[in-house]
Amino acid sequence: HATAVTDNPAHQGMYGILEVCITGIIICTLTALSVICSGVWSNGNTGVVLSFDAFRSTWGPFGIVILAIAVVLFTFSSYLGFYVEFRTCVEYLFGEKLMKGLKWIYFILPILSVTMEVEQVWDIADMAVGFIVIPNMIAILLLSPKFFEIFHGYLTELKQKKS
């Protein structure tokens, strides 16, 4: 959402909050309930395999197809989202000179990750997120007065529209 062109950044931020609520609360809760209610939680599997077991036991082959499509879409959209975020961060900190290398890294990493252990892939992902989080947290702290100014203006605008 940070790269969106919008008249009102607070309104755009509300879309971001809605996305977090949908994915973090609704989808994760439904997945957890599927795992618990299907009884597969004690079969020894973990992660996405456990989710596949739950959907298979409840919905049969149809559940596997639905979950597979959801996993592919989530993975692809997350990967693109992280690319945009990482690109924006690198471009802001270092300028255009590193953009070509960044594109190659993002192209090669999925190919290399197929040959790696899952723990290695997560370690690389965690490091990449760490590189993004540190400058973002600094920026959030420095821009927090501006955020509150925009947010209070947005709330005032909403109250005026209701009146």
Residue 16 lies in a domain: yes
- Amino acid occupying residue 4: A
How far apart, in whole angstroms, are the C-alpha atoms of residue 22 and residue 127?
Answer: 26
Average pLDDT, the chain: 87
What pTM did the predictor assign?
A: 0.70
- Same structural domain, 53 and 86: no
Residue 144 is assigned to a structural domain of this protein: yes
Domain that holds residue 22: 9-59
pLDDT for residue 163 is more than 80: no
Whether 105 and 155 map to the same domain: the answer is: yes
Residue 55 has pLDDT above 70, yes or no: yes
The answer to whether residue 68 is domain-embedded is no
3 within some domain: no
Give residues with Cβ within 8 angstroms of 91, minimum separation 6.
98, 99
Q: How many domains does the chain have?
A: 2
Do residues 46 and 84 share a domain? no
For residues 142 and 107, membership in a common domain is answered with yes
Structure confidence at residue 2 (pLDDT)? 64
Q: Quick one: 83 and 129 in the same domain?
A: yes
3-state helix, strand, coil in the chain (%, to 5): 90, 0, 10
| 98 and 163 assigned to the same domain | yes
Average pLDDT value for residue range 86-107: 83
Based on the fold, state whether residues 94 and 52 are members of the same structural domain. Answer: no
Asked if the structure places residue 69 within a domain, the reply is: no
